[in-house]
Structure 1
Amino acid sequence: MDTLEALVTQIQGLSNGEADLTDLHNLLKQSEDQLHSHTPRLPSLLLQLDPAKHSLGYLYFLEACTSAPVSKEQANDLSLIIVRFINSCIAEQIRLAPDKRFKDQVLMLEAPMRGVAPMLASVRKLQTSSECLTPLHPEFLLLCLLAKNYKAGLSILKDDIFEVDQPRDFFLYCYYGGMICIGQKRFSKAIELLHNVVTAPMSTMNAIAVEAYKKYILVSLIHQGQFSTPFPKYTSTAASRNLKSFSQPYMDLAIAYGSGKRSELEACFEANKENFEADSNLGLVKQVLSCMYKRNIQRLTQTYLTLSLQDIANAVQLNSAKEAEMHVLQMIQDGEIFATINQKDGMVRFQEDPEQYKTCDMIEHIDSAIQRIMTLSKKLTAMDENISCDPLYLAKVGRERQRYDFDDFDSVPQRFNI
């Protein structure tokens, strides 16, 4: 019996108890080089393993099979085997090797849509809970972006993530998640995710944070009509000192947008068009340009009760009253302003927000937000308690305290001479 056949026998014998699985995992890690050097033999050996019983061993063999260059036909056969494996494997076993993945084989087929459902199943099996971020999360979101299947990506973005193992996974999860939300016009969620990338702890600058910051500026202008320059206090020093310098064309665009002058914004766009295109952000920048009309119309609602369509067209630099009417009607339909248009005299009457915040749907929405905040508060309290009991934390605090000996300070005087 050769070494590979002996390994198959050991996989069959050690795929039961928890202790056996630990031994098997160590054995498989030691055998990786050997598996990768004998890839032509592996498909026939896979037939001796049951993915529903020998999931860990099957995973290592299958990953080695996909590591070598294969033709498109071979990739098609392997993708079918991968799908069957994902559907039948034991979650507890594959969680021992979360770094094994097969996204590249799906991309070779030039049909990323075929990998979306199996990858989602993999994410769910790899998670110990919905609060846990796995290495497959960002890869799944990237696959959804390539497949333009944004709704599938939203299915995992609904979960509140509290457990993160690798920082890079978190950066990519939030960045790709932000792009998914942009594709679905869910700008508020996109801003939240991109903000998480920008303000996450980092000791040095990374390219993901830079690209996230550029999109964060653009989406803030589109959704909020403004961009807040100061960083929050909890932002890392590396980010607060360097992000602006890496994103100067976008900072210039935000300044031009804030002026409210269409000519300045267009001039800034033309001056930096090549940079925007190189960053694959040209579409978002064009949305910023089109949103300026809306933001200027919204500013008018804060000053006037009634205005003619022609006055609106002149104020926001539109070509005609008809064009102004189209913008106003679209904004009313989208709930961005509250107004009525008198077709006889072409006058627009601006109104207050009719929402009274007392409907059943609104009460349920508020209650859901409160419950989420309460859950987050409990999580933070539990984390604080765990950290305060952590031996490494206590040892570090102890070392810090030794720097400040109370004997080094003068005692507080008990009497004051006046």
Structure 2
Amino acid sequence: MGSMENLVTQIQGLSGSVEDIAHLHNILKLADEALHSESSMLSAVLDQVDPARHSLGYLYILEAFTSGPVSKEQALTLVPILARFINFCDAQQIRLAPDKFVSVCKRFKDHVLLIESPLRGVSPMRTAVRKLQTTFEHLTTLHPEFLLLCLLSKSYKIGLSVLEDDIFDIDQPRDLFLYCYYGGMICIGQKRFRKALELLHNVVTAPMNIINAIAVEAYKKYILVSLIHYGQFSTSLPKYASSAAQRNLKNFCQPYIELATTYSSGKIAELETYVQTNREKFDNDKNLGLVKQVVSSMYKHNIQRLTQTYLTLSLQDIASTVQLGSPKEAEMHVLQMIQDGEIFATINQKDGMVRFLEDPEQYKTCEMIEHIDSSIRRIMTLSRKLNAMDELMSYDPLYLTKVGRERQRFDFDDFDTVPQKFPI
């Protein structure tokens, strides 16, 4: 125990300057094995160091202390200890041992799930993400853990706080897959379908040598959300999607491809029959709720199509055309769509007539100009970032070697449509 007392003294004395902390880090690396061998005795040691001032030393001790399996009762004790450390630790110190910090945070996530209280993990895990990040463009391995806790606790709005960041720096490919998949699910929970499609699209088209389970599940939801939001789905993936995705994704998602085909007929009865026949498959995938939204969306998209043909239409005609049960049902759908800004119309209650209108937005208000200006500035920032990344990549030896190997795969005909850079 004397060696442990000596280590505590060194942690307390070497947590001030950058030079001292660097020296302490070397000491802690050497002591790591001993800490793990005496992990059951470290509870008293933790009480002697401060998570805010002695963050690096506290992290090493805490990681060793929590390294073994725990019961539900032990987890109840550990959760507040881990949360306190995450909330008060110094970001600069814990970034010296990021793997240790990630291990501690992942155990924290496991413990809040063990005690069936994911909500208790949401705020500390968001703090952990921000402390581990070097910039807001950095995707850490804790991002997916945070989004998972948000999903399980239905804290969708809190999850959106990290999904607004433009990510350019990624530690591990799996982190990106999970971040976009969980992020897509959070956006679905908030009915932000356009953003959900963007995130799920990133999973489906991300580079992959073989198909992974995350991409398959993302593709299923991508199909469903496309039908809900756009009323259609194209099975053709963009050219920049991996060849593995191009070849194999559809084979794993046949019921969803067939659902999209049935949806395209515009016949609600056929769609409902297909859903009922394949209900168990969708339920097993935990997508039945989304599938039901797909069925409901057919009414909406059929009504939207009517606005392209008619200026006025009775509620009875709308009900008959889109296969709703009564004019009252048609009225409820139209009112909801007006409220959501999906159509522009007025209803004459006296004669039951719906008058379809043009979009009233003139794009000349101060708010709209500010919105457009903000979008332009964001696009310019992204453009500069992409140009910088492109230039950096053009000098990367690994990239140049790969391009050199693959150049022989292309024929001259592939470049016929590329304009000449300079006139000849």
Gaps of 5+ in 1: 405-418
Residue number in structure 2 paired with 1:207: 213
> 2:154 aligned to 140, 148, 156, which one?
148
The 3-state SS of whatever aligns with 1:161 is coil
TM-score (norm 1): 0.90
Residue number in structure 2 paired with 1:378: 384
| Counterpart Cα distance in 2 of 1:401 and 1:256 | 42
Residue number in structure 2 paired with 1:264: 270
Residue number in structure 2 paired with 1:389: 395
| Counterpart Cα distance in 2 of 1:239 and 1:400 | 20
- Stretch deviating more after TM superposition (134-143 or 87-96): 87-96
1:108-162 Cα offsets, whole Å, 9 max, x none, are 2221111211111111111111111111111011111111111111111111111
Residue number in structure 2 paired with 1:197: 203
Residue number in structure 1 paired with 2:368: 362
| Counterpart Cα distance in 1 of 2:235 and 2:226 | 11
Pairwise CA distance, 1:222: 0.8
> 2:186 aligned to 180, 196, 202, which one?
180
| Counterpart Cα distance in 2 of 1:181 and 1:347 | 35
Could you say if the C-alpha distance between residues 24 and 172 of structure 1 is closer, same or farther in structure 2, counting changes exceeding 3 Å? Answer: farther
Q: How does 1:15-414 map to 2 (within 5 A)?
A: 15-16=15-16, 18=18, 21=21, 24-25=24-25, 28=28, 32=32, 34-98=34-98, 99-100=102-103, 101=105, 102-394=108-400
8 Å contact kept, 1:8–1:45: yes
Q: Which amino acid aligns with 1:211?
A: E
| Counterpart Cα distance in 2 of 1:280 and 1:33 | 43
The 3-state SS of whatever aligns with 2:240 is coil
8 Å contact kept, 1:52–1:89: yes
Pairwise CA distance, 1:337: 1.0
1:320-375 Cα offsets, whole Å, 9 max, x none, are 11111111111111111111222222221212111111111111111111111101
Number of matched pairs: 404
1:169-203 Cα offsets, whole Å, 9 max, x none, are 11111111111111111111111111111111111
Residue number in structure 2 paired with 1:408: none
| Counterpart Cα distance in 2 of 1:327 and 1:61 | 60
**What is the RMSD of the two structures over their aligned residues, measured on CA atoms?**
2.4
The sequence identity of aligned pairs, in percent, is 73
TM-score (norm 2): 0.89
1:216-269 Cα offsets, whole Å, 9 max, x none, are 111111111111221111101111111111111111111111110112211220
Pairwise CA distance, 1:206: 0.7
Could you say if the C-alpha distance between residues 294 and 35 of structure 1 is closer, same or farther in structure 2, counting changes exceeding 3 Å? Answer: same
8 Å contact kept, 1:66–1:105: no
Gaps of 5+ in 2: 411-424
1:360-416 Cα offsets, whole Å, 9 max, x none, are 111111111111110110101111222223344456667788999xxxxxxxxxxxx
8 Å contact kept, 1:138–1:172: yes
Q: Which amino acid aligns with 1:88?
A: F
| Counterpart Cα distance in 1 of 2:6 and 2:249 | 54
| Counterpart Cα distance in 1 of 2:148 and 2:207 | 23
Pairwise CA distance, 1:60: 2.5
- Stretch deviating more after TM superposition (358-367 or 12-21): 12-21
| Counterpart Cα distance in 2 of 1:259 and 1:286 | 17
The 3-state SS of whatever aligns with 2:169 is coil
Could you say if the C-alpha distance between residues 236 and 30 of structure 1 is closer, same or farther in structure 2, counting changes exceeding 3 Å? Answer: farther
- Stretch deviating more after TM superposition (62-71 or 244-253): 62-71
